[in-house]
């Protein structure tokens, strides 16, 4: 795709470089920005030259740099990176499922970033599913030099919209250690075998027995359902079928999304129960 309106390209080295001139937009992997015309954009500011660490492990949990590619996150989670993930972070088992929910060619997969996927904020955003499943928190740099933090589930406000104000940049996504120590599952379904997700359901059980189920792709924004313990089949079915935000588009009707979400949630619930 020729982006004919763009006449400047800056590589960011410091936070000051992220102060955008009128018409400038930040670019990460560029897989979406380069895939369709950007009529309002006259310049790109490259985030990938800021040198942000991809993966930072601490007792508090995992900090994923916004410019970490989905491919590098997956390699690390599968133990193919420079460092091995903590063995007790069992919920990393859903990273491959989440990464595979981003249906794209290998070129997209190796270039698309975690931050770019979350900031594009599609309902079917694979990294939104992952972060929302594990109580992910977005670390956002504000143009005045301050930072703010917001749960990824609340950061996404619609299919393609979020709370980023002009000039704000997603710096990282934090996944808390408690959620990473949970037993977690992810299931997805698409109308076409190789189509974009119509519904993604995650479920997890924490060490204290509390359970969290999250719908993405099926509802316009992530739907987080919390339970003090693993719900019964009736409880999970009630929560999923009465959730709001199911929508109709070429990837599926609202009624289909509600129905398949209930089926996937029950499969996850039964699997988590059997593995207890």
Ligand X SMILES: Cc1cc2nc3c(=O)[nH]c(=O)nc-3n(C[C@H](O)[C@H](O)[C@H](O)COP(=O)(O)OP(=O)(O)OC[C@H]3O[C@@H](n4cnc5c(N)ncnc54)[C@H](O)[C@@H]3O)c2cc1C
Q: Least distance (Å) from ligand X to the CB of residue 265?
A: 21
C-alpha distances out from residue 179 to 55, 60, 207, 212, Å: 17, 10, 9, 10
Stretch that binds ligand X, among 24-32, 183-191, 201-209, 266-274 (CB under 6 A): 24-32
Binding status of residue 125 toward ligand X by CB under 6 A: yes
Binding status of residue 119 toward ligand X by CB under 6 A: yes
Ranked by CB distance to ligand X, the top (closest) residue is: 116
Stretch that binds ligand X, among 53-61, 112-120, 207-215, 247-255 (CB under 6 A): 112-120
Whole-angstrom distance, CA of residue 38 vs CA of residue 193? 30
Stretch that binds ligand X, among 27-35, 182-190, 231-239, 260-268 (CB under 6 A): 27-35
b/e sequence 86-120, b meaning 16+ C-beta within 10 Å = eeebebbebbebbbebbbeeeebbebbbbbbbbbb
Binding status of residue 29 toward ligand X by CB under 6 A: yes
Which residues in 134-163 contact ligand X (CB under 6 A)?
A: none
For 153-216, give the secondary structure using H, E and C. Answer: HHHEEECCEECCCCCCEEEEEEEEHHHHCCEEEEEEECCCCCCCCCEEEEEEECCCCCEEEEEE
Binding status of residue 170 toward ligand X by CB under 6 A: yes
C-alpha distances out from residue 224 to 74, 129, 180, 245, Å: 24, 11, 17, 12
Binding status of residue 26 toward ligand X by CB under 6 A: yes
Q: Least distance (Å) from ligand X to the CB of residue 70?
A: 7
Whole-angstrom distance, CA of residue 151 vs CA of residue 156? 9
Q: Least distance (Å) from ligand X to the CB of residue 123?
A: 8
Residue among 106, 105, 128 at smallest CA distance from 117: 128
Size of the site for ligand X (CB under 6 A): 32
Among 122, 155, 227, 246, which residue interacts with ligand X (rule: CB under 6 A)?
Answer: 122
Q: Least distance (Å) from ligand X to the CB of residue 42?
A: 13
Residues at the interface with ligand X (CB under 6 A): 25-33, 35, 47, 66, 102-104, 108, 111-113, 115-117, 119-120, 122, 124-126, 164, 169-170, 196
């Amino acid at each position: 795709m020729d982006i004919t309106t763009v006449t400047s390209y800056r590589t960011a080295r410091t936070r000051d470089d992220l102060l955008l001139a009128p018409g400038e937009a930040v670019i990460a992997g560029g897989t979406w920005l380069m895939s369709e015309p950007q009529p309002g954009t006259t310049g790109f500011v490259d985030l990938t030259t800021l040198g942000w660490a991809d993966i930072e492990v601490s007792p508090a949990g995992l900090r994923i740099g916004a410019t970490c590619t989905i491919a590098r996150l997956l390699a690390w989670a599968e133990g193919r990176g420079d460092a091995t993930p903590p063995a007790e972070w069992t919920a990393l088992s859903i990273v491959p499922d989440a990464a595979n929910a981003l249906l794209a060619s290998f070129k997209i997969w190796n270039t698309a970033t975690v931050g770019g996927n979350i900031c594009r904020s599609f309902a079917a955003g694979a990294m939104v599913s992952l972060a929302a499943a594990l109580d992910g928190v977005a670390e956002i740099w504000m143009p005045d030099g301050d930072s703010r933090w917001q749960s990824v589930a609340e950061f996404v406000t619609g299919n393609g919209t979020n709370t980023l104000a002009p000039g704000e940049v997603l710096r990282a996504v934090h996944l808390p250690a408690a959620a990473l120590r949970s037993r977690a599952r992810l299931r997805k379904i698409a109308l076409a075998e190789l189509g974009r997700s119509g519904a993604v359901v995650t479920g997890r059980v924490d060490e204290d027995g509390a359970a969290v189920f999250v719908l993405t792709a099926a509802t316009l924004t992530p739907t987080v359902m919390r339970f003090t313990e693993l719900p019964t089949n009736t409880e999970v079915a009630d929560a999923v079928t009465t959730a709001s935000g199911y929508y109709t588009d070429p990837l599926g009707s609202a009624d289909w999304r509600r129905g398949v979400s209930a089926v996937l949630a029950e499969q996850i619930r039964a699997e988590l129960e059997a593995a207890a």
